[in-house]
Amino acid sequence: MPKDDRVIETPPRTTPPRSLWLLGPALVAGVAYLDPGNVASNMTAGAQYGYLLVWVVLAGNVMAWLIQYLSAKLGVVTGQSLPEALGARLRRPWARRAYWLQAELVAMATDLAEIIGGAVALHLLFDIPLLLGGLLTGAVSMVLLAVQSRRGARPFEFVIIGLMVIITVGFVAGVFIAPPDPAEVVGGIVPRFEGTGSVLLAASILGATIMPHAIYAHSALSRDRFGANPRREQTDAAVESARTDASRIRRLLTATRWDVTIAMVIAGSVNLGILLLAAANLAGVEGTDSLEGAHAALAAGLGPVVATFFAVGLLASGLASTSVGAYAGAEIMHGLLNVRIPLLARRVITLIPALAILGLGVDPTLALVLSQVVLSFGIPFALVPLVALTAQRRTLGAWANRAWTTAAGVVASVLLIALNGALLWLVLTGS
């Protein structure tokens, strides 16, 4: 019989494209933008000022995209996290220690928000006392950190992304059930304030949206997955090596842009949804200046299902973000002081301030909002060095920022610092 020379076509591969497996670091870092501090700040802003601060959420998310991309690019190209890069350049020990101290205070404020948020969620769902809820939140976060320590980055990313899905459903469901007024939403895009209280909340929203520890963490996450040079010192040979691997880095940066875009779209939509939910359904309602009051008002106005979704989203938010916060804190200490404490040991230490506040009976929502203001003041210390480093050709070689990227980073830095200065002036003068 004649031989059949026809080419038999093989069926197309059903596995995901390889580029999909490059996604992940930004989604993990993006959980920091969905922590309980965000919930408290956006919920309070919507309940007290309606749609007034919609523009703050949108502007913050646009700036966050640029900032997180620059952070990831630093890790991809140099193989260093931002704390490592700063630690190598701050030659004087006192300078490294001073920088570490402010970064550590920011990380502690982050932990405070996340543990308190998880405790409040457990109280809303199961009537568990706040102090016990804080302990349980800390214990679960230890399990998540154990996954990262023993199984590596990829399984940890899958767990965090799964929690992000729960967060999104929990907080956005109510917006579809009770949608906001479109005309009011458009009106909220116009930048304006109404007194000191709105400036305080704007700073709180930005502190929750552009979080310093997310900047530190994202550069480390990208370094661990893709970094070109894992060595601590950024030598000329390392920069030259990155330049010769141009196709690989270009592919990684393209995937990083997609990763950051997806993460910021999710985070921005959820944060905006929280504010709109409060503005449309809680404005003028008594007691909605607290998470417990907001939960009760949602249950009364929209039913127990929406309220339960909200509480579940809050719990997932606390569990996911506290794990990322502990990872960032460990990286800050290692990069600046060259001291590495096991993640689980650090988790135990950083639980203490949050548990103390819960034990003393401090209003949880007030503690959450104020913690976000602390984060807001930590932004310049992370953002200014990030923009400066990524603009240097001796650091990133051919991958250094273009002029317009650096200009956008400078504008974002100036705006954030100016807002913080205005906040401090208004608070001190009582205006």
The tens-digit pLDDT sequence of the chain (431 residues) is: 444 444 333 334 433 445 555 667 888 887 777 878 778 788 888 988 999 999 999 998 999 899 999 999 999 998 899 999 999 888 888 999 999 988 888 878 777 878 888 899 999 999 999 999 999 988 888 887 777 767 766 777 788 888 888 988 888 888 888 889 899 999 999 998 887 788 878 877 876 677 788 889 888 888 887 755 444 344 444 445 544 578 888 888 888 899 899 989 998 999 999 999 989 888 877 777 677 888 888 888 888 888 899 999 989 888 888 777 777 888 888 888 888 777 677 777 778 888 888 888 888 877 776 776 677 778 889 999 999 999 999 888 889 999 999 999 999 888 878 877 776 676 566 65
Return the structure tokens found at 230: 């894992």
First-last CA distance in the chain:
97
> What Å distances lie between residue 235 and 168, 250, 385, CA to CA?
42, 21, 19
Return the structure tokens found at 376: 């807001």
Please, which residues have CB within 8 angstroms of residue 217's CB and are 6 or more apart in sequence? 28, 29, 32, 324, 327, 328, 331
Question: pLDDT value at position 418?
Answer: 80
Q: Are 138 and 322 in contact (CB under 8 A)?
A: yes
Question: pLDDT value at position 106?
Answer: 82
Q: Domain 20-429, CATH 1.20.1740.10 — does that match?
A: yes
CA dihedral 12→15→18→21, nearest 10 degrees, is 160
337: left (phi over 0), alpha (psi -120 to 50) or beta: alpha
Residues in the chain: 431
Q: Which of 239, 184, 193, 234 is nearest to 53 (CA)?
A: 193
pTM of the shown model: 0.82
Q: Which of 119, 90, 91, 115 is nearest to 103 (CA)?
A: 90
Q: How far apart are CA 234 and CA 230, in angstroms?
A: 9
